[in-house]
Copies of this chain bind each other. A is one copy, B any other.
Amino acid sequence: VSIATIADLNEAELVARIQGRLAKPPDWVVVGIGDDAAVIEPERNRLEVLTVDALVEGVHFERRFTPADAIGYRALAVNLSDLAAMGASPRVALLSLALPQDLLCTDFDAMVGGLAALAARHHIHLVGGNLTRTSGPLVLDVTVTGSVKRRQVLTRQGARPGDEILVTGSLGAAAAGLQFLQQETEPSQTSANLAPAQQLVHRYRYPQPRLRMGQLLSRSKAATSCVDLSDGLADGLRQIAKASDVGIAIDADAIPIDSDARAWFQSQGRDPVLEALTRGDDYELAICLRPRQRGRLAAAIRHGDAPVTRVGVCTAALDLVLRRIVDGRSHLEPLPQGYSHFK
C-alpha cells in the first residue's frame, strides 16, 4: 500500500509514527504520550523553566529551503536556545502540529525524526502534544521545560553600568546561509564557493543551542544577565538594556562575524556589521558580566563548547550605540533595530 500524504492517516497512526522515533522515557515521566495530559515528577530543589516557540511556514521557514528534518530540528532548537539563555537543563517537550493535508508522509517522518534526534542529543523527552489539520501553512508549536537552581537563574535583568558584554560563538552565518538559499534559484547556478556556502546553509538549518554554555555560566554565577540571539544581537541587547535599565555601547570591530559570512555579505555589497547585528537565526547567547568576574567566566569557557568574545560594555547613559573606527577615528551611531516578524 502506498501512503502519499498525511491525509491518508488518522490521528492514532500519526501518533504511532511519532512514538516509534522516541527513546524510552525515564522513570520520572509518570504518564507519557497517550493520555489527556502528561504527568512528570518535578526535579527536587529546582525551579522549573517553561517556554513555547512557534515556527510558521512562510514566516520562519520555507519548505523549499528547509529539508523536513531541519524543520523539526529547528522547532526544538529555538526552544532549547531559550532554556540555554536561562541557564536551565532540558527536561520535557510537548509538540503541537498543524498539518496541511498535502504534507508527504515521508516529510512528516523526517520532520519528527529531526526533532527526535536533537531531543535525544540533549536528553529532553517528548511527553505529549497535539495534532490537527489546517487549511493554511504548516505550524510547529513546541513547548519545553527545564530546571535550574533558584540562585542560578539567568535573566535579562541584572546588568549594571560597567558590565562587559560578551557573545558566544560567531554571528551572521545563519543569515548568510538563508540569503544564499533565497538567491539560489537553480542548483546548477551554484558558484565556485560551494563548500563555504554549504557550511553557511548548514548553520542556518541546524543551529546549535548553547545549552552547555548557558549551564556553565549559570553555575559559575559569572553572568549578571543573559539573552539568546534568536532575533539578532541588536534585538537581544535592546532586551537586556530595557530589562536592566542600562545603556549599551558596542564596538563594531569586536563583533565575532563568521568569516565565510563576512565574505558572503561583502560579495553582496552588504555591511557585515549591520547584517550580523540585525539578522535573526543566530542562536548564540549574549551575556553581561562584572569585570571582576572574568576569572569565573574563564573557568566556564574552558569547559564550554563555544568561544566567547567581548563586544562592548553596559553604560549609565541609556543610549544604545555602535562605535566604529572610520579612518582611524572613533565614530558613534545608534545601534540598529533588530529583526521583527511583525511591523
Q: How far is the CB of A194 from chain B (nearest CB, A)?
A: 32
Contacts of A201 in B (CB 8 A): none
Interface size on A, residues (CB 8 A): 71
Q: Is the pair B134, A139 in contact by a Cβ cutoff of 8 Å? A: yes
Q: Is the pair B54, A141 in contact by a Cβ cutoff of 8 Å? A: yes
- Protomer copies: 2
Contacts of A59 in B (CB 8 A): 132-135
A134-162 interface code vs B (CB 8 A; 1 in, 0 out): 11110101010110101001011100000
Taking A30-B47, A153-B30, A343-B9 as contacts, is the C-beta distance between A130 and B53 under 8 angstroms?
A: yes
Q: Is the pair B14, A38 in contact by a Cβ cutoff of 8 Å? A: no
Contacts of A48 in B (CB 8 A): 39-42, 48
Complex: A159 Cα to B86 Cα, angstroms: 42
Q: Does A37 contact B (CB under 8 A)?
A: yes
Taking A31-B155, A135-B137, A341-B133 as contacts, is the C-beta distance between A88 and B56 under 8 angstroms?
A: no
Complex: A155 Cα to B36 Cα, angstroms: 8
Of the A-B pairs whose beta carbons lie under 8 Å apart in the complex, a sample of 26, sorted by A's number, is A10-B343, A11-B340, A34-B156, A35-B86, A36-B226, A36-B227, A37-B86, A38-B51, A39-B49, A41-B47, A41-B150, A42-B47, A52-B94, A52-B141, A53-B130, A54-B98, A54-B130, A54-B141, A56-B132, A56-B136, A59-B134, A94-B143, A96-B96, A98-B139, A130-B141, A134-B136
